[in-house]
Amino acid sequence: MKIVITGGGGFIGFKLAKALLARGTLAAEKIARLTLVDQAFPADLPKDPRLAALAGDISDPGFTARAIAADTTSIFHLAAVVSGAAEADFDLGMRVNLGGMRAVLDQTRKCVHPPRLVFASSVAAFGGDLPKVLDDSTTPAPQTSYGSQKVVSEYLVSDFSRKGFIDGRSLRLPTIVVRPGKANAAASSFASAVVREPLNGVAYECPLPPETGVWLLSPRRVVEAFMHAHDLPAAKWGSNRVVNLPGITVTVAEMIEAIGKIAGAQARKRVSFKLDARIDAIVKTWPVRFATSRARALGFEADLGIDTVIRDYIADEGVRAQ
């Protein structure tokens, strides 16, 4: 088993890599090589003979040809320009999110055997006039450039699978909470920051009102979802290669309440509000409630609740809640 993770230097990609190395197998086959592909990598890369890191631009076909060797058996395609950045810089989003996907897919056609490809899509695929609860029959109608780029990529993954070039599966990810470190350019960055900063003793100005709802999933669950999606046989997917992952609906107010319960009133008081109309306009287009019967039937799971998500973050990241 020879695996490539694009976006492997990012938070989720790096967590996935460590989980795969610890597990040692994928689809019941021994992992012989794991290549991380990104523009930069964490300083604490594991010293493992199976692991390699390759820095470059995934939208450059020449670089992608070096990253995805002919004997590659599995690809996790996570590399992307995130939502807020893709909206602010249309050309960059198109180059990386669509050009990168096309470069990856074109390279898969040169593999000895059609590789299994898991694509990180997003619930930003949905927007516009939506029902109160979305389900597997809801038609994507993205209202951001990022969402549009994800939907086009989903169609490409499905068509390349239909043609037999790859065995693809696309996961529409909820907002991933809690991400450690500093906020990035994603419009969803607030959903981690509103938990992370007060727990670490830092004051935080939330750019969205307390009633803002988020459809979310923890880092633990999303890593499990990537591996589970890969290991499911192609027959389980059939012709429909896209699934909405399960999540939980939580408002900003409920996140703050959970912080107070876990870390005390002082932590909760570190959150204040300063509306950012640009972020609000993007986030308002995102759905917050899903019925995910297909994902459940395929064996994907959500978190138990926001309290569990926060406690897992504290445990996984070694946070000493302030």
Sheet order of strands, 33-38 included:
51-55, 33-38, 2-6, 74-77, 116-122, 167-173, 242-244
Contact 68, 4 (CB under 8 A): yes
pLDDT score at 303: 97
Give the position of tokens 């950012």.
276
SS3 282: helix
CA–CA gap between residue 166 and residue 162 (Å, rounded) = 8
pLDDT score at 27: 92
Q: Let me know if 204 is a catalytic residue.
A: no
The structure's pTM equals: 0.94
pLDDT score at 185: 67
> How many Cβ atoms sit within 10 Å of the Cβ of residue 45?
16
CA–CA gap between residue 240 and residue 172 (Å, rounded) = 13
Catalytic residue, chosen from 146, 155, 204, 313, is 146
Specify which residues 111 forms β-bridges with: none
SS3 208: coil
**Ranges of the chain with pLDDT below 70:** 185, 321-322
pLDDT score at 28: 93
pLDDT score at 163: 98
pLDDT digits (tens, 9 = 90+) for 222-251: 999 999 999 999 999 999 999 999 999 999
User: Can you point out the beta strands (E) in the chain?
Assistant: 2-6, 25-26, 29-30, 33-38, 51-55, 74-77, 116-122, 167-173, 175-176, 204-206, 213-217, 242-244, 248-251, 271-273
